[in-house]
Structure 1
Amino acid sequence: MRWKRRPEGSNWGDFGPDDQIGRMNLLTPKRRLAAVREVTEGLAFTLSLPLDHTGADNPMRKPPRLFAEVVEGDPAYNQTLRIGDAATCDVMCDDAVTLYTQYSTQWDSLAHWGQQFDADGDGVAEKVYYNGYRAGEHLVAPAGAHGPAAHALGIERLASAGVQGRGVLVNLKAIYGTERRWIGHDELMRAIDAQRIEVRPGDFLLLHTGYAEAILAQGPVPDMAVLDRTGAVLDGRDPRLLDWIDASGIVAICADTVAVEGYDWANPPRDGSTMLPIHELCLFKLGIHLGELWDLHDLADWLLAHDRHACLLTAPPLRLPGAVGSPVTPIATV
C-alpha cells in the first residue's frame, strides 16, 4: 500500500488500490449510451483553439514550433521521391513539431498537481499525487539523459479510459456577461437553475465564459491585461462549491479559461495551503480531470438558441506515455 492515511475528503482507494483514472471510472457503457442519445441533429462542434493560441502568460509553456527534418541535405518538404537512381513522379511533405503539452487547449492529467501530505502517517509530509503515487518513485524528474516521466497517472491513462460521454454546458456568459466575476456555489446554482440544467453523475461539466472568444479576437499573443478582466472564474475558496463538485459525480471540469478557477493575486495563500483549491480537490483528492482553454462559444450559442444544454462529448488526449498533460481537439455532437 502506498499510503496509510488519505487526505480528508478524498476518494483514494475507492476505485481500487492501483487506480489511475479517478472519476473516469464512472464512464460506464450505460452512461455512454445515454450520452449518445443526446445526439439528434448530427452536428459536430470543434472545441479546440488553434494550438498556437494561448490565454496565459506562462514562461514554462511556449508555442509550438513546426519544422521539417532534413533528409539527404534537403528538407522533407515538397521533396521528389527517389527510388535508387530513378526520380518518381511523387512529391512528399513530412514535418515534425516541438509541442508544449499545456500551452493551449489541453487536458491536465492526474500527474499534473500533487501536494505535500503525510500519507505515511508518521508526521512527515511527502510529495504525493492522486491515490498516493509518489514523487521520485512514480513521477520521476529529469536526470541526465533520462526523464521526466510520469510512470503512474500519465496522460496515456486518460487516453486509454475512452474519453467519451455526456457533456453538459453551463453558459456563464449568458447569465453574467463577459466581465471578470467570481463564481461560487450560489452563482453557479443560479446559472444551472436559470438554464434548467440537469447535471448527472458521469457528466463532463463545460463552462462557457467568453474567455476563448477574447483570445481569438486578439490572435496568438493576446493582451493579458484584457484577458485578466474577461470571463467568469470559479471561486475555489468557497467550500460549498467544492462540496458540490464532489457530490455532483462529474468526471471532469472543462472551461474556456486558464486553470478553470481564478487566483486572487491580492490575497496569496498562507503557508501550507494550496494556491488552487479546485486543482487540489479535483486532481489530487478526487481524480477529476481538468480541461483548460476549450473553445466553447459556437457550441454554447447553438445550445442556447435551441434551449438545450447537453451533448455527446468525445475528447481523447494524445496517448503519450509519461506525459502530465496533452493538447486535445474535443468534438461535441448534438
Structure 2
Amino acid sequence: MAPNIPKFSDLPLDKKGPHHNAWGLYGKDDELGTLNRLSDSIVKAAADEITTGVRINIDWPLDAQGDLPFFGRQQFHKEVYQKAPRIVNDDVWTFNTQSSSQWDGLRHFAYQKEAKFYNGLTLDDIHGTNGVEKTDLLGIGAVAAQGGICGRGILLDYHEWRIKQGRAHDAFDTASISVEDLKAVAASQGTEIKFGDILIIRSGYMHAYNQLSRAQIEALRQKTPLRFTGIEQSEDMIQFLWENFSAAAGDHPSLEAWPTQKEYALHEILLAGWGMPIGELFDLEKLGAHCKEVGKWSFFLVSQPTYVPGGVASPPNAVAIF
C-alpha cells in the first residue's frame, strides 16, 4: 500500500462531498492536491534516474495545431515587432492554454452534477459572481510557485506494446485502455511503478495525428462529440491512479477515453476530487524512441508551468532527463 495516504476504500473522505473525493486530506485551503506526494525525499530519490544527462523535450509546439485546434479552442498567435529606431525586437503571444501541450490545473474541470472544484471551490469563487469575492485559489500559479512538477516520470508506451500484440487501434474513435493493459505494458518494459511517479502514457495519438491531411483534420473537428482513445473510466483505473501517482499525462486531447463511457468523467475525480494535474497533448514520439533505444522507460521529469496566479492551465515546459 502507498505510504501516507488513505486507502482507496476510504474514499470519499468528505462524506458530504462528491464520489471518490479526497477533500480535506491536506487541509481545506490546499492548492497542490496529489502533488503533495512529491516530497523532498521522493524527488531526491528520483534524481537517481539521471545517469547519462540526455534531455528530451516533450512539449508540442504552441502553434502545432495551426488554425485547426480541437474542441473549438483558439489558435496560437505570435506578433514579432521591432522597437524602432533601435535594432531590437519584442513579441506578443496570444493563445488558449489548452490548444497544445498542457497541464490541466485544478480550476479546469469540476464535478459536473455538484458544480464543485477541488475542496469545494465554486464558479462564483473563481469568477467573483453572485456577491462572492473573487479568489486566485487553485490557480496553476500555485504549482509554479512551489517549484513545478518534478520527480520520477515513467513512460508506459501503450502504442509500442499494442503493435507487438497485433491490436488494431484508431486514435480518433472512442476506445478504452485498461489497467490490465497498462500493467502489461509496464511488465513488458521491465518498468517498476513507484509511489509518487508521474505517469505518462503514449497512446499513439501523435503518431496518428502526424499522418493526417488538413482535410482529414477538418473532418474530424466536425464530429459531435469528438472521439479519442484513452484510459478507461473504471473503479480499477481510479484505484490504480490513486494508489500510485502524483500526476498523469498522455499524448492526446483528453487522457481518458472520450466521450466518457460512464456517468462520470475521470477529469472530475482527478482534478476536482484529488487535485491531480492532468497532462494532455504531450509530444512523446522522441521520448518513446529514446526509451526503446536505451531500454529504459523511467527518467527524471522537470516541468515548470507558467507562473500565472489564478490561471486555469499552462504549457508544461517539460523535459525528461536520463
Residues in 1 aligned to 2:36 and 2:272: alpha-carbon distance in whole angstroms: 16
The corresponding residue for 1:234 is 231
Give the direction of change, closer, same or farther, for the CA distance of 1:57–1:132 in structure 2 (3 Å limit): same
TM-score normalized by structure 2?
Answer: 0.82
Deviations 1:301-331 (A, max 9, x none): 1112211111110111110112111122211
Q: String of CA shifts for 1:50-73, please: whole Å, max 9, x gaps.
A: 1112385211x11111124xxxxx
Question: 1:144-183: CA deviations, max 9, x gaps?
Answer: xxxxx76211110111232211101101011113723521
What code does the residue aligned with 2:161 have? I
Residues in 1 aligned to 2:144 and 2:26: alpha-carbon distance in whole angstroms? 18
Counterpart of 1:66 in structure 2 is 78
- Provide the residue aligned with 1:72 in structure 2: none
For 1:140, give the aligned amino acid.
H
Q: Give the 3-state SS of the residue equivalent to 1:214 in structure 2.
A: helix
Which of the residues 255, 262, 265 maps onto 1:260? 255
Per the TM alignment, residue 21 of structure 1 is displaced from its structure 2 partner at its CA by 0.8
> Which of 7, 10, 15 matches 2:21?
10
Identify the residue that residue 203 of structure 2 maps to in structure 1. Answer: 209
Task: Looking at secondary structure, tell me which structure has more helix per residue.
Answer: 2
* Structure 2 equivalent of residue 21 of structure 1: 32
Q: How does 1:1-334 map to 2 (within 5 A)?
A: 5-54=16-65, 56-59=69-72, 61-68=73-80, 76-77=81-82, 79-81=84-86, 91-116=87-112, 125=114, 127-137=115-125, 139-140=126-127, 151-162=136-147, 163-177=149-163, 179-180=169-170, 181-218=175-212, 223=217, 232-236=229-233, 238-248=234-244, 250-264=245-259, 273-274=263-264, 277-334=265-322
Q: 1:108 to 1:289 in 2, by over 3 A?
A: same
Contact 1:150 1:324 in 2 (8 A): no
Amino acid at match of 1:254: A
What are the superposed Cα offsets for residues 63-104 of structure 1, whole Å, 9 maximum, x if unpaired? Answer: 111124xxxxxxx427332xxxxxxxxx11111111211110
**Structure 1 residues 116 and 262, CA gap change in structure 2 (3 angstroms):** closer
Contact 1:53/1:63 (8 A) holds in 2:
no
Contact 2:35 2:276 in 1 (8 A): yes
Instruction: Give the whole-Å Cα distance in 2 for the aligned partners of 1:261 and 1:8.
Output: 18
Check the 8 A contact 2:250/2:280 in 1, yes or no.
yes
Report the structure number with the largest CA radius of gyration: 1
SS where residue 294 of structure 1 aligns?
coil
What's the % identity of the aligned pairs? 26
Partners of 1:150 and 1:258 in 2: CA distance: 28
Higher strand content, 1 or 2: 1
Counterpart of 1:223 in 2: which secondary structure? helix
Distance across 1 between alignment mates of 2:227 and 2:290: 22
Which ranges of structure 2 fall in alignment gaps of 5 or more residues?
1-13
Number of residue pairs the alignment of both structures matches: 293
Q: TM-score, normalised by structure 1?
A: 0.79
Sort the Cα spacing of 1:93 and 1:56 in 2 relative to 1 into closer, same or farther, 3 A: closer
Q: Which residue of 2 aligns with 1:88?
A: none
Q: Could you list the runs of 5+ residues in structure 1 that have no partner in the other structure?
A: 69-75, 82-90, 118-124, 144-148
